[in-house]
Amino acid sequence: MQAYRIRAYRRQLVEVIITALDDEYAFDAAIDLSPHDWDVIETLEVEEPDSITLADSCHEDDANWHLEN
């Protein structure tokens, strides 16, 4: 058997609480936040892959590649 790297997009509904003067300022402040500051409310299913490639554990595409070299 071979290892495959599958990449796909999925949509998430997220929320964050912001204190601001109005909704425009609130949104501007929210989009500047780190993605880790947002709470995930709902995640939709992955419908189609973006790419499917053979996974090579010694390749720059591997998330752990920099740890090995």
All structural domains of the chain with their residue ranges: 4-56
Tell which wins on pLDDT, 12 or 55.
12
* pLDDT tens digit sequence for 31-58: 999 999 999 999 999 999 999 998 876 5
Beta strand extents in 1-69 (DSSP E only) = 4-8, 12-15, 39-43, 49-54
At 2, the pLDDT band (50, 70, 90 cuts) reads confident
So what's the pLDDT on residue 12?
95
So what's the pLDDT on residue 69?
46
Rg of the chain, C-alpha, whole Å: 18
The rounded percent of the chain whose pLDDT value lies above 90 is 70
